[in-house]
Structure 1
């Protein structure tokens, strides 16, 4: 299909932007996050990573969803998801709690929405890497939340901390799939190439995934905010029960595996 437009956030979500999101299930905002804020988020992620590797983060806050890249002796080398980010990174918390992101949540999830922050993994930083040892290089086609999830409705706000292109496995979506079921022969995906500082908001039930990272030395980091208008589940709950967690774990793909297969 023809390339779909991107937008510039002007301090509010316009009727045209809301209509686009409701029609296609996603929206791209160019240059929404200043370069200095991108740098703060990235620096905080590296500090937080070191704390997790050093064992100084609460055990129930250490990610169990994505696989971990390890050294040859099995020692963790890189966690590909950092959970409860705003609980550990004060500077980032000040950035991520700003009104511009809350406005996106209220527009796309509903006026009573709240930020998933102190429960079910909270704010999440996610990191794809290339190379033969990478435990997370691609992600299979999936939905963020199944129909009827207690958090619903949810909008995922993805803040890109690196350029995201076809070569490093940018986000791919099936436009309108939040409204219509995917058939046996699904439509062609749209690949959303963005720059560091861009933001992509997408519906909880849009079908999406990403191809493997082609550059063996490449990496791509994204910060995810989940604005939910469903019931608050309570403080400190785990991401999912054992059955659901195993299903989610299968969507993360390491190097040498095929990346764009559907979740089974």
Structure 2
């Protein structure tokens, strides 16, 4: 097991958990190199302009080491212990961020199932230099949902003051991190980042509970219909030599979703 009983209780209560130093320094070196190679290749080998976020899905499947992480015992243990032994891979993603990331934590169609994000950062990040920050416990959506006003990004970030303070001043818990730390959280947990430099890496593997009831199945199908890359298993995962990788996409094939060749 990767989590203690107390860590599970922490996760269930606050919606996140941090695994300090889960990735080794040499692994982070390879992750950084492969990530930079992917991003540069998809930019046509041009320099990153630092003006527009570069987002790639699927991402980890594009290089050998990153792809191997999907079948890594540590990553699988996270999925199994938080989403069940039959958890499903949603999508992998890679991002080069620019500017602030405003508060968000989607809800609605996602609600019947647990969706988690396993986040990796390739540089040291502090509260005022772009580290992830959470509103602990906001993944538990009440009735009424007092956080609904900040679950979707507002159009005008500069003047948006739902509680009379700037978005960066909303009470929160900053997750200051170093390369090798892995941050796991429920997708409905309100999260944001402020003050980061242009071009900071943030990559993630996204899992969810296997849908079993009709309501859950319809929930996932709604997400599929609204997306372009999510819930579409790459052929390299379907045909992987690693049985863990093949298993985590089998649930998508059972739902009849399209595949991707990248």
> Do the two structures share a fold, i.e. TM-score over 0.5?
yes
Of the three residues 75, 98, 101, the one matched with 2:72 is 98
> Normalized against structure 1, the TM-score is what?
0.65
Find the residue that maps to 1:188 and give its secondary structure: coil
1:44 alignment partner in structure 2: 34
The answer to whether 1:194 aligns with 2:174 is no
Contact 1:114 1:227 in 2 (8 A): yes
> In the TM superposition, what is the alpha-carbon distance from 1:19 to its structure 2 partner?
0.5
Partner Cα distance (1:182, 1:126) in 2: 30
Partner Cα distance (1:150, 1:178) in 2: 10
> Once superposed, what is the RMSD of the aligned Cα atoms?
2.9
The answer to whether 1:124 aligns with 2:88 is no
Pairs within 5 Å for 1:84-95: 84-95=58-69
1:142 alignment partner in structure 2: 104
Pairs within 5 Å for 1:47-62: 47-54=37-44
1:252 alignment partner in structure 2: none
Higher relative contact order (Cα pairs below 8 Å, separated by 6+ residues): 2
Contact 2:102 2:192 in 1 (8 A): yes
Of the three residues 120, 130, 135, the one matched with 1:174 is 135
Deviations 1:133-161 (A, max 9, x none): xxx21111001x42333893211111221
In structure 2, do the counterparts of structure 1 residues 79 and 35 end up closer, same or farther at CA, with 3 Å as the change threshold?
A: same
Partner Cα distance (1:109, 1:158) in 2: 16
Which sections of structure 1, spanning at least 5 residues, go unmatched?
1-10, 56-67, 72-76, 117-121, 129-135, 241-264
2:84 alignment partner in structure 1: 110
> Normalized against structure 2, the TM-score is what?
0.66
In structure 2, do the counterparts of structure 1 residues 26 and 196 end up closer, same or farther at CA, with 3 Å as the change threshold?
A: same
Which sections of structure 2, spanning at least 5 residues, go unmatched?
148-161, 212-219, 231-262
Pairs within 5 Å for 1:149-160: 149=110, 152-160=113-121
> In the TM superposition, what is the alpha-carbon distance from 1:79 to its structure 2 partner?
5.6
Partner Cα distance (2:112, 2:129) in 1: 31
Partner Cα distance (1:182, 1:69) in 2: 39
1:224 alignment partner in structure 2: 204
In structure 2, do the counterparts of structure 1 residues 169 and 182 end up closer, same or farther at CA, with 3 Å as the change threshold?
A: farther
Decide which structure has greater helix share: 2
1:30 alignment partner in structure 2: 20
Pairs within 5 Å for 1:55-70: 70=49
The total of aligned residue pairs comes to 195
